[in-house]
Structure 1
Amino acid sequence: MIDIIPDIPRLYTAIAEWMACIVYIIILKRRINGWQLVTVAGGALVFQSIFLMVTRDLPIVFWIPSMLVAVGMMFLFIYICCDITPTEAGYFGVKAFVAAELVAALQWQVHFYWWSSSDSNLTLEILLLIVMYVGAFLLIWQLEKNLIPDEGRLNIMQRELWSTVVIGAAVFFISNLSFVSESTPFSGQYAREIFNIRTLVNVGGFAILFAYHVQINEIRVRHELEAVQKILQNQYAQYQQSKESIELINYKYHDLKNQIIALRAEEDPEKRNVYLTEMENDIKSFEAQNKTGNNVLDTLLASKNMYCIKNGITLTCVADGTLLNDMDVVDICTIFGNALDNAIEYEQQFENPEKRLIHVSLFAQKGFVMIRFENYFEGKLKLEGDLPATTKKDSYFHGYGLKSIQYTVQKYDGIVNVDNKDNWFELKILIPIKT
């Protein structure tokens, strides 16, 4: 009985697998576009179709290896077209395969229902194929697109990949079991029953993978929020520590000033006068430095400047801190702390001190508070969404500093913009002034 059941034409399967890959390529971040993407996609469709057609009449023992090769071709297609890791390409390759199996099985079941006992009409057959494939994959695209971050990556881990592989393999095995053997407890005995089993199992498998994908996305968002919250707490803690340290330093400088006054009253050698004058000038320079009109900002800038001096980085600042008087202390720490930390970390890679340059400016412009961080920059700026991609190897646990700045600025209806030109990286923040 198994031999008389008409299986899905291999060409139909190839088209379904290709269209499923296209759905995920569209919603993921691509590494190729335009005619290059069209050429690769066209080649993938040709190779997928030829391979499945050539392997159509192979003995049943080669069936599983042939399907593994087909899945591998889907993986390569997605990986070549998208700017994602091999792990992520494998994850979405399995999802695309299960989606293809579902759409192909559903279309063929409807086809078999209409034309099982009568001659089919080629025109109607092609029309049914187009309508069902396009409609089904548009629905899948609509479901999946909202679950992918703006930067087009989900940071899939190895454990998530293998969980998806196990689910996909189980769905494929159970859905096609009746086509291999009818003498198992899970096999169907009649053609329509077998088709029902395959379609329903594929629906269930796709639903499981979709739910798993939702869970992964929720975990990613929760992890991101926790990381941002930790950054906020760390920045505020640094501010408190810096405030205490700088207050102590101010006391010490005040004592030094009194000592200098006392020393000047004595008859000292000329060289000591010169030395004491230099000390006094340094104190005046310190006192005048980072007096922006906002105590929180003063503390942060003084702390970061001390670190920069110690590490051979030139930090300059022109800021009207009074513009931040209505901003929460934690938010000031988040914006300025993270921006300066990122700039300092980047500048430390340069051995030449003349390249270790950071400039901060804060001023009002046309009804907006403008906050601008600039630092010397070499190389090409790579963006993920609206923000620069992290240069850390472990991107899953890094890159949240700028995101926390973005979240904080959005609280004040502001925007964050990044740019680089003439060897300068610029982080620009615009916040409307409330009237």
Structure 2
Amino acid sequence: MIKIRFIDLFAGIGGMRLGFEQAADSLNCKTECVLASEISADCQWVYQNNFNHEVLGDIRAINQLPPHDFLLAGFPCQSFSYAGKKAGFGDTRGTLFFEILRLIDTCKPQALIFENVRGLYSHDQGKTLATIKHEIKNRGYSFDTFLLNSSNFGLPQNRVRLYMVGILGVSPKFELISDVGSPDSHSYNCQQLSLFNPLSKPVAVANILEDNPDSKYDCSPEFVEALKTRLNNNLTQLHGRRLIDYRGGNSLHSWELGLRGKCSPEEIELMNRFILKRRNKVFGRHQDGKLLSREQIASFFNHPHFDQILDSLVAKKYLQVVDCKYKPVSGNFSFEVYKFLDSRKISVTLVASDANRLGIYHNHRVRRITPREAARLQGFADDFILHFNDDKAYYQLGNSVSINVVKAVARDVILNTLPCQSANKSLIPLNSLSGG
């Protein structure tokens, strides 16, 4: 039996490792992790408790890699993310990619598997990815990229991530193809067949929900009562609703819920018109709308008590004044939950910053999803040990990879790396890999 030695850089809580080990096991290969590196002490705790493996810290303190066959790295994504500043290689975190290259030069593996955010694909008009490709190919590797959505791999989450793979001295033929899936979680049809797993069962949020989680995950009575009042006691209307103060659409707003003070119908009408009209091109082209003057607001809200209504909204802190112009006070961080999932659909992308504020209305309870449910969205088995601090667990899971996707990518890379015999691709040992 073949034994594949691998290295796990920027290991997090071990998602890349789990997916890789599952892929190797499905191909009757043994694995040995010869080095793992992760700078976060909290992630190290989770990794060590699940894998009983000592984890090295800062990658910059590693001088040389031991002999290995595969290199896994989910290198930091913040500098490439749509949610970040998009500084790329101008950001210190972005330059950590060059630390990977430095270590590859000390001991070239047979294959590389990298994971990052979707934004890296188009960052700086593709120049950042072109730089990565150049550096990898310059070292004798092939270079292929795949944009893959977790919802196509048996997980009820609309999560698109970029996978970059390279094989030394080989021109691989992959079965994987890029597929970003549904444009959003609402348009996903849980009955549709996956391009990658046509015989798999459809997935939906309902599949990952716990029946009776701890009451600590329940939303506050005050928040629930505000929701009931706004929705005329029909809490099923929460399915798929977002709570945000600078967008319209299928949203609930703080002024409609009275979170900073009860609003009159006229105040609610002004606020709803404000967030809609401020995005009109006549007021500017800023994505989330411009700050508006009192005169601009009056142009679409003609009311005999206009001044009093506007001043009242400022006093209640639904609006703030900046240079004599008005804007909503905040986005979604003023809510206990920023998005209620629809159990019949898939989840929005789990992200580190607010994974702890995804909600669900389930079994007549208005609550946040639990860390275990978040782990299930990422494909972690229920026996995986999560961090004992819930907030840290949510953060780690939002930063993690989707196990099922890594497994599919790793399986395809392994099959392209190891020689095969017969139509079913039975593996035979390769000299460059460890013997079983």
Please give the range of the TM-score, normalised by the shorter of the 2 chains.
under 0.3
Higher relative contact order (CA 8 A, sep 6+): 2
> Relative to total residues, which structure has the larger strand share, 1 or 2?
2
> What TM-score do you get using the length of structure 2 for normalisation?
0.22
> What TM-score do you get using the length of structure 1 for normalisation?
0.22
